[in-house]
A and B are shown apart, each in its own frame.
Chain A
Amino acid sequence: MTLRFRLNGRDLTVETPAGRRLLDLLREDLGLTGTKEGCGEGECGACTVLVDGKPRLACLTAAIQVEGKDVLTIEGLATAGKLHPLQEAFIATAGVQCGFCTPGLIMAAYALLQENPCPTRDEIRDYLGGNLCRCTGYAQVVEAVERAARELAGR
C-alpha cells in the first residue's frame, strides 16, 4: 500500500505492506533504529512511540494503523541539535546503563509529561510500569523524569 503519515514532524509517503510492523518500518525501511525491539509481544515497552500524542507499542502496530496519523519517535525529540530536557535529564542522573530500554522509557515519560506535567514520584513509577529495564533499576530513571518535569515547568 501507499502509506501516508507524519513522522517526527515531517509528512512522509512510503510503499509498504499494510501488515508490516511499525517497528520494522521505522528500523529497517526508514533507518530509525532508536526504537528498540525487546520482547516483540507488548511486555517490555522498549518499542514505545507516540501516535497522535498517545503511547503505543510499535511491535504491536501495523503500518496501516498509522495511516494519516502523527508518529513521534525518540529521533524526533531533539530540536535544532539540542537534546530534549528528558534526554538531558537521563544523562545527568545516569538513568542509563546499557541503554536498550532508554528510548522506550523516554517516550513513555514524554507521554506522561504531556498528560501530567507535574507528576508525583508514584505517578511516574506507575506510568512507567510497562517499561522494563533489566540492567539496574528505576531509581535514577524516576529521578530523571522528576528533573525533566522541573526543567520544563521552569520554562
Chain B
Amino acid sequence: MRRTGPVEIVRPRDLGEALREVAAGGRPLAGGTDLFVRVRKGTDASPFLVDIGGIADLQGVRETETGVEIGAAATHAQILAHPATERLPVLRLALQTIGSPALRAMGTLGGNLVNASPAGDGLVPLYLLEARVNVIGPGGETSYPVAEFILGPGKTALRPGELVRSITVPWPPDGARAYFRKVGRRRALLIAVASLGALLWLDGETICEARLALGSVAPTVLRPRAVEQALVGQPLAVEALAGLREALSSAVQPISDLRASAGYRRQVAGNLLLDLVSLRSV
C-alpha cells in the first residue's frame, strides 16, 4: 500500500546508538535515494528508519598503505572528489555515471551495496577491484569479499542488527587500464540495460591480465572468469575481442524487463567487449 503519512525516523548520535536502533528493527537510512522511493511505494515495510548520515564513524574516505577505506555513508560526490580515488580511475568512471549531480550528492556506496541491485553502477568497480565490505553488528565486526556480500537482487549477507561500516578497496596492481561503460536510452538518470567495467594490463599490445565485470545482465554483478582467462595472451584488437563475443554473450544470465529483453542484453554485453579496443589509445 502506498504510504501517505511521514515515516518515523530516528537520528542516533553515534555508531553504538545506531547499532541499538538497528537491532531494535530500524532500517539504516543513508542517502535515501532508493529507500524513500520504496517507503513511499509501500514496498519497504521497515517499522522505522535510522538516519546514519550524520554518524562520524561512517563518514569519509581514508587512504591507507594498501588502498582506500570508504565510510558506508560517504556520498558518491565525496568519493569522487577525494584525492585518493584518483588512483582508482575505474571507480571514478563508474560513480560519475550515477544518476545526476543531486543524486550523487545524496547517494552512498554503502547504500548501493545494501540495495544489491544488479544494475548498481557503483558495484561494478567494487567487483573489479575486489573490494571488501566491512560489517558491524551485535556479534562484532565481519568482513566479506563484495562477491560474497551480495547474494542476489536485494539480498545481502547482512544479518539482523548489522550494518555496513565501510568498504575496503585495495589498490590494483600498477599499470591497469580502466574501462567503464553503461548502455541505455539516455546518459543521465540512466538505469543500465547492460554495463561493462574492465581492468586490463598490457605488455605492448598483448593482454597479460584482464578483469571484467558486467552489470544488469545477471542476478548480481558478474565476473566472467572464462572470458577473462581467454583474453590473456590475446592482442588488444577488434578481431581478437570479436572471437570472444559469443563466449561473453553466453556467460551472462539476463532477464527481460521493462528496460530490455534478455536477448538484447546478451547482444549488448557481447558488443561491449569489442569496445575494449578503445583502451588501445589510453
Residues of A within 8 A of B (CB): 17-21, 40-43, 45, 48, 54-57, 59-65, 67, 108, 111-112, 126-127, 129-131
Contacts and interface: CB of A to CB of B under 8 A. Distances in A.
Interface of B: 5-11, 29, 32-33, 36-37, 40, 49, 51, 53, 77, 99-103, 105-106, 187-189
Contact of A57 (B9, B10, B49, B102): B102
Contacts of A40: 40
Contacts of B37: 41-42, 60
Contacts of B10: 18
B103 A42 contact: yes
The 9 A-B pairs at the shortest CB distance, nearest first, are namely A130-B100, A129-B188, A19-B6, A55-B102, A19-B7, A17-B6, A54-B105, A18-B9, A19-B9
Contact of B32 (A65, A112, A130): A65
A102 to B, nearest CB: 16
A111 B32 contact: no
A48 B11 CA distance: 24
Nearest to A111: B101
A62 B32 contact: yes
A42 B99 CA distance: 9
Contacts of B36: 21, 59-60, 62
A105 to B, nearest CB: 12
A19 B3 CA distance: 12
A56 B105 contact: yes
B99 A130 contact: yes
B6 A21 contact: yes
A1 B216 CA distance: 41
Given A18-B11, A65-B53, A130 B103 contact: yes
* Among A21, A126, A130, residue most surrounded by chain B Cβ atoms (within 10 Å): A130
9 contacts: A17-B5, A18-B8, A18-B9, A19-B7, A20-B6, A57-B102, A61-B106, A64-B51, A65-B32
Contacts of B99: 42, 130
A23 to B, nearest CB: 11
A64 B9 contact: yes
Given A19-B49, A41-B37, A62-B36, A130 B102 contact: yes
Contact of B51 (A54, A59, A62): A62
A141 to B, nearest CB: 14
Contacts of A59: 36
A89 to B, nearest CB: 19
* Among B36, B101, B102, residue most surrounded by chain A Cβ atoms (within 10 Å): B102
Contact of A42 (B7, B33, B51, B187): B33
